[in-house]
Every structure is written in structure tokens, then in C-alpha cells.
A and B are shown apart, each in its own frame.
Chain A
Amino acid sequence: MASLIGYYSLIFGLCSSFFIIFFSVKNFKDSSTFNNKILSLTFLQLFFVVVSFFGLILSFVNSDFSNETVFNHSHTTKPLFYKISGTWGNHEGSLLLWLLVLTLFIFLFLLKSKTQTKKYRILTLLFQQIIIIGFFIFLIKTSNPFNYIFPIPSEGLGLNPILQDPALAFHPPILYLGYVGSSIIFSSTLSAASLNYISKDWAKHIKEWVLISWIFLTLGILLGSIWAYYELGWGGFWFWDPVENVSLMPWLALTTLLHCILVLEKRLALTSWVVILSISTFTLSMCGTFLVRSGILNSVHTFASDPERGLFILIFLFCLIFLSLFIFFFFHKVEKKNMKNFFWLSKETSILINNWFMMYFLSVVLIGTIYPIFLEVISSDKISVGPPFYNKLIIPFLIPFLLAMAIGPKLDWIKSEFQIKLYSVLFLIISISLSFLIIKNLSVNFLLNTILVSSAFYLFFITLRDFFDKKFKLFSQTLAHFGFSLFILSILFNNIFSTEIITNLKIGETFKDDKFKINFEKIEKRNEQNFKEIVGKFSIENHNGDVDILEPAIRIYNQPNISTSEADIKTNLLTDKFMTMNLIQNQEYFSIRYQIKPFMLWIWFSVSLISLGGLISLFYRKYEK
């Protein structure tokens, strides 16, 4: 029943799109005021999608296995929480979430943009409706979440165990708010470009939407990363997996846009650049959806692949790209005035430098992600691009990037005087000597690491000083930059100081080296609602004589019958102790992996600081008005 309502709601939602378009076009031509009927229709569309979404959730909660999506991704023994989160843990349900965010954002946009002109609002709505219609058709035609199966199976196939995790229940909705939320930036930019509406006021208005998308995207990526660290048990937080990359690419574009739009707001320059960035942010999101959902790539996120789906998104994606190109070249007027010269030492130049670096990082990630596809098509060679590629191309460029980040925000708009402040020299010396002391006794590349750590420290000290110096002026920006310096420092220390031991142990055996003594004490069996678990008990003694007890586990889920390895992680303020164990087939040995990962907590914390910076900036602007 819920499925049926859900399905018809989808059809009605699609129909309301056509009504919206009809009234919008009429309203665009005639009267001078915005027809409120359009707003009601947009709300109605949102309502239909919400009903449809709840219909699917209800089918999951009731374990209605006559629904194919539920049958494929749920099971009666699943805890209620994972029945609900299973709704978006699959291709069909997550696309319904896409649609929900698309319709939600355009409705909010219409509510919040009452001060803008009628034509601009209507045109934005029309562009957004093109995207919405595309996704409605995609959903109904190729990935209907409400497919009926007969005979009705008595039991479902179950949710992939690695998706049964609290962080992952929240990761998709939050990520999508950012990822799909960028659609509204895309639509309004196209609309503003075709109406020649781009101005300082427009920049101010659109910046809020950029910020909202950016905050959610940052938090969404953070949650995904936390999930990967705790659940996948590979002992890292970022793997340069293609699917992680496709969420990082829109983030990089959006971050660039966030900085670039400041120049537009203050100096009415770089308009074309803002338009290009807005278009590429959403295009990269769509491109990511294509890469993930078509099955052209292989990764944990690729759901059941189906070439028909891939083809649809591909054609739709390129329609949007060509539409944007058409509007950009035929409607967008590049004003000659915009070509104002930037003085070499000014805030806008430093933002431009930031943009260049971001574009460089974006290209590296883009090439690393899609080049293997190109190569396979052209020469049928299979290659895999891994962390060394990204690390080698990105890390050295972080040095000038960090330094520019420390200096840039200090400069004035238009023109700054060149002056060397005593404290900045002092901080530089402190940073270099501090990193020298830290790095010198370690067996890592001395020169590169010292310079890297010093530049991160430099940014750290400069922003730290700003907190006290600026009396909360530009607080959000300082906080975000401070968070970034902390983030880079944590990652660097995490890399430099981690240690790892991999060994095979029997029950009762002890592993010993000059730093640690690992004793495999015993194993226990436990039963839970949706899995059985074998828990190993290990005591680890370090050279100071401190003893830790770690209990990694192997879980055997009942539906579907998959075993996963659960890491046991002891977290404290400075280091994480991380241990996993794995069965070795037909042997009484277990493969044990013990890692010490410093500053893990600080990585999560610093990214939260960065997004908090964005959040404060969003509300701070409200106070200004």
C-alpha cells in the first residue's frame, strides 16, 4: 500500500513539474509580480516527493517484501534504525533522496529570494525544473524504488553489513544536502548569467547558498571518512578511492567558488570565473553520480550496475553541460570593466592565487579518477591510480598554499602596502625551529617534512594570533583557516608518527619486538540480533610497561551472510590504538594488525572547525543585515 502511494506520488510530482513550467513561462512574460500560484505548486511538488519518500521508509519499516527495493536491501531481523537507514543505502532510495533535496532546495530558494527580481526567480525555477524532471524520469524509468515482485518473497536479502553503521546512516543525507544542494547554485547562476543579473547584490545573495552547500558537503565527507576509519578497518581515513574523489572534486570547486565570490561581492570582478565555477561544481556532482551509479568504476559505493542507468545519466549530464555552454557563450556578457587590473599585493590577488592552487588540486584529482577510464577505452590497459600519485602531486604544493593562506587574509582589498611585521618573522623562525626539533630524529624525508610542518605551523600561529588581535572581526574566516592548519598538522603527524605491526598469532601466543609485546589471550563468542561475533582479547604492553586491552572482532552477519572484521580502537586525545584481526582460511592462526595512529581525533575535530567557520559566517551575515 505504502509502495503504491509512493509510486503515484512520484507520478504526481512529475506532473506538477509541467504545471510549474506552464505557469512560470506565462508569468515570465506577462505581469510584473511573482505569481504565488507557482510557489504553491513548488510546495505541492515537494510534498509529493516527501510522501513518496515516506512511502519507501514505511515499506522498509514494515518489511514489505513485495517491494523489490525492500526485498533486495532489508531483512526482518534488522534493527529498526537500520531498516530506516536502509532506505537510502541503495541506488533507488538514494536517488529518491536526490530528488527530495532538489525539490526542497528550490522551494527554500523561492521562499528566501523574495527581494530578488521576478524574472530571475522564475528563470532559476525553470532551470531547476529541468534538473528535477530529468531525475523524475530517471527514477521512474530506470530505477523505480517501488517495483512490485510476485510471488512475494517471505524474507529479504538483507542490507550489506558494512552499511550497518550509525555514521553511515547520516552520511548520505548530509552529503546529499551539499552535493545536490549545489544544483541551486547552478540554476541561479545560469539564470543570472542569461538575464545579465550578476552584480554585487547577487553575489551577496548567492553566497548564502554556496555556504550552505559547502557546510553540508564538508560535514558529509567528514562523516564518510569517519565511517571508513571505524568500519572498514583499513586503518586510514582517506583512500583516494574514486568515489571519495568524486565527492572531493565538487568540494574543491565549491571552496574555490566560496573564495572567488568574495571578489565579485567586493569588486565586481571575475564574473565569468564565478559562472564557470558554479557550473562546474554541479557538473562535477552529476559526473560523480554518473561514475558511481553507472558501474564504470568499482568501489564500495557502486551499487548494482546497469548500463541503461549509466547511459541515461551520461546523456542527461552532457545535455546540462551543453546547455550551460550555450548560455555562457550566447547570453553571458563579459563586461570590459571587469578586466580591472589587480594590484600584485592585494586581497584579490591572493584569492586568485588560492583559486589557481585549488584548480591544480582539482585537476590532479580529476585526472587521477577518470584517466584510468580513458586509458582503458583507448588502449584497453587497466591501471589503478593510488595514493602515491595523489600524495606526490599534491603534498609539495601544499607548502606555498599554506603560506599564501597565512599571508592572504592580512592584505587589504585593491592595494596593500608591502611591510614586514616583526611578529610574522618571529612566527616563521619559531615554526621552522619547532619543526626542525620534531623531525630531526625521525627516519623520514627530512627537508620536505620540515618545510611542510613549518608552513603548517606558520599558518597555525598566524591564525591563532588573529583570534586575539582582530577582536572577532572575520572570526569565521580565521576559524576555518585555523581549522585547516590544524587539519594539515594532524595529517602530517599522523603520517610521520604512525607505527604498524602485522603478524600472525595463535591463541595464547605472544609477539614481541623492541617496542611492544602483544599477547593473544583468548577468544569469545557473542550473539547479537543481526550478527554473531568472535571477539579476540589481546593485551599489549609498550616499552613503558603500560598495558592496553584491545578486543577486535570478526562479525558474521546473518542477512546477507557476510563476515566483516571489526576493528577495536582505543581513542584518546593524542593517539588512537587500532587493532584488527582476520581469519586465515583452514588455519588456526589469526592475522593481526596493530597500529598506533596519532592525532586521529584532531583530524575529525579540525574538519569540524572548518565547517563551523562556514556556519558562523552564515549566521554572522544575518546579524549584519
Chain B
Amino acid sequence: MKNKIFPTFLVFFFLSIFFIFFKGLQNSNIYIPNTNLEKNIPSFIAKLFDSDDNISSEEIFKENKFYLMNIWASWCVPCREEHSFLMNLSNEKNIEIIGFNYKDNNAKAKSFLSELDNPYNLIISDKDGTLSIEWGAYGVPESFLIYNNKIIKKIIGPIDKDLFFEIKELIQ
């Protein structure tokens, strides 16, 4: 009898470890440094996408309004995935979507938008990518939810269904 207790115990022990790891996997594992959140957005002056005019960040971001700053490029494959969600969000009244066109060719970017439609209220051209780095972006696509000139959420990678509903809830 004594011989059976130890193996049974071990099996239960490992099963419980399995369970804990399994639970751990379901926790969100994208770590966003706290320092990036609730931070004031960086101020900048940049060139507009469809004209040669410059625009400053103060002119774009007003207080008491939600903005979704979205970094995209025509060559970026996941950007296509999230595009439908952006189109959907652009129908919302209380959010404006600001596009950062990252390291892109203007003609290609335009054909991308004419193919998939344009969700952006305003697009800024970020030819050399420095502007996005200034924001602390890791890559494309990436989105920042902004309210009162503060970043309240940072999304790394494409917006998916869950994130889409989360944004919708936040801006209500």
C-alpha cells in the first residue's frame, strides 16, 4: 500500500503544476511598462500625408476627446487584418483616428487606402520613422489610445476583436 501512495502523490503534484502553468498561460503576457501609460504625448511638428503642409501636435490633439493614434504602412501585412476594425471605429462619433504612415511610399500608401478605404480623420507622414520611435513604438502596426493629451492604452500589434470591443467600451 505504501508503495502506491508516493506515485499517486507525485501524479497529483505534477497535475497541479500543469494546472497552474495552464492558468498562467491564459494571463495576458504582453507587458507594457507602466512608465509609458498616463504619460503626456510627445509634442511634434510633422508633415501631412496628402499635402506639403506641416502640422503641430497641439493642433491635432484637443482636450476632452478620444484619439486613436495608429501606426501603419502599406507593406505591413497585419495592418490589413486590423483595417476592418479601424473602419468600424471610424464610424464612432466620439473618437478620431490619426494615422501615422510609417516608412512608406506615398503612392503605395494611397493605393492601399483606395483599395481598403480610409478610416483616418488625419494622416501624418512619418517617412523615416523617427516620429513613431519618439512615441515609444516597437513596430507596425501599433496603436495608442489618447485622452486629454495622455496615453491611456498602448496596443502592440494589430487590433483584434477583443481589443476592438475594449476600445469601444473605453470611449463610451
Contact = CB atoms under 8 A, between A and B. Distances in A.
Interface of A: 71, 149, 153-155, 157, 290, 294-298, 305, 307, 310-311, 314, 318, 321-322, 325, 329, 373-374, 376-378, 560-563
A311 B26 CA distance: 10
Contacts of B1: none
B29 A305 contact: yes
Interface string B20-63: 11111111011100000000000000000000000000000000
Nearest to B132: A561
B77 A149 contact: yes
Contacts of A290: 21
A560 B7 contact: no
Contacts of B30: 295, 305
Contact of B133 (A153, A305, A307, A561): A561
A91 to B, nearest CB: 14
A314 B17 CA distance: 10
B21 A296 contact: yes
Contact of B77 (A153, A296, A307, A321): A153
Contacts, number: 60
B52 to A, nearest CB: 24
B59 to A, nearest CB: 20
Given A157-B139, A325-B11, A325-B14, A314 B21 contact: yes
B139 A298 contact: no
B29 A298 contact: yes
Contacts of B18: 314, 318
Contact of A310 (B10, B25, B75, B129): B25
Contacts of A378: 20
23 contacts: A71-B77, A153-B77, A155-B75, A294-B29, A295-B29, A295-B30, A296-B24, A296-B25, A296-B27, A297-B29, A305-B29, A311-B22, A314-B22, A318-B18, A322-B11, A322-B14, A373-B20, A373-B24, A374-B24, A376-B24, A377-B20, A561-B129, A561-B130
A220 to B, nearest CB: 25
B23 A321 contact: no
Given A296-B29, A298-B29, A376-B24, A560 B139 contact: yes
A155 B76 CA distance: 10
Interface of B: 7, 10-11, 14, 18, 20-27, 29-31, 75, 77, 103, 129-130, 133, 139
- Chain B interface mostly: helix
Nearest to B26: A307
Contacts of A155: 75
A297 B18 CA distance: 16
B25 A311 contact: yes
Contacts of B129: 561
A154 B21 contact: no
Contacts of A325: 7, 10-11, 14
A154 to B, nearest CB: 7
B7 A377 contact: no
Contact of B23 (A154, A294, A377, A562): A377
B25 A294 contact: yes
B25 to A, nearest CB: 5
A290 B17 CA distance: 13
Contacts of A298: 29, 31
A90 B20 CA distance: 27
Nearest to B27: A376
Nearest to A304: B157
Contact of A154 (B20, B29, B75): B75
A468 to B, nearest CB: 49
Smallest CB-CB A-B distances: 7 pairs: A295-B29, A377-B23, A298-B31, A329-B7, A373-B24, A310-B25, A561-B129
Nearest to B29: A295
Contacts of A149: 77
A341 B133 CA distance: 67
B25 A307 contact: yes
Given A154-B75, A307-B26, A377-B20, 11 more contacts: A153-B75, A155-B75, A296-B24, A296-B27, A296-B29, A314-B25, A322-B11, A373-B24, A378-B20, A560-B139, A562-B133
B14 A318 contact: yes
Contacts of B29: 294-298, 305
Nearest to B140: A157
A307 B21 CA distance: 11
A307 B24 CA distance: 10
Contacts of A329: 7
Nearest to B25: A310
A73 to B, nearest CB: 12
A305 B28 CA distance: 10
Contact of A373 (B10, B21, B130): B21
Nearest to A153: B75
A407 B10 CA distance: 36
Contacts of A307: 25-26
A325 B10 CA distance: 8
A563 B27 CA distance: 30
B130 to A, nearest CB: 8
A68 B147 CA distance: 36
A298 B20 CA distance: 17
A307 B18 CA distance: 15
Nearest to B10: A325
Contacts of B75: 153-155
B78 to A, nearest CB: 11
A378 B103 CA distance: 44
A317 to B, nearest CB: 9
A321 B14 contact: yes
Contacts of B20: 373-374, 377-378
Among B23, B24, B27, B77, chain A packs the most CB atoms within 10 A around the CB of B24
